[in-house]
Amino acid sequence: MPLKKSPMDTVLAGKGEPVAILNRNTPAFYCVPADLYETMMEQLEDLELNKIADARANQKRIRVNIDDL
Q: What is the pLDDT of residues 23-69, one digit of tens each?
A: 999 999 999 999 999 999 999 999 999 999 999 999 998 899 999 88
Alpha carbon distance 46, 42 (integer Å):
6
Alpha carbon distance 65, 59 (integer Å):
19
pLDDT the model gives residue 4: 79
pLDDT the model gives residue 69: 83
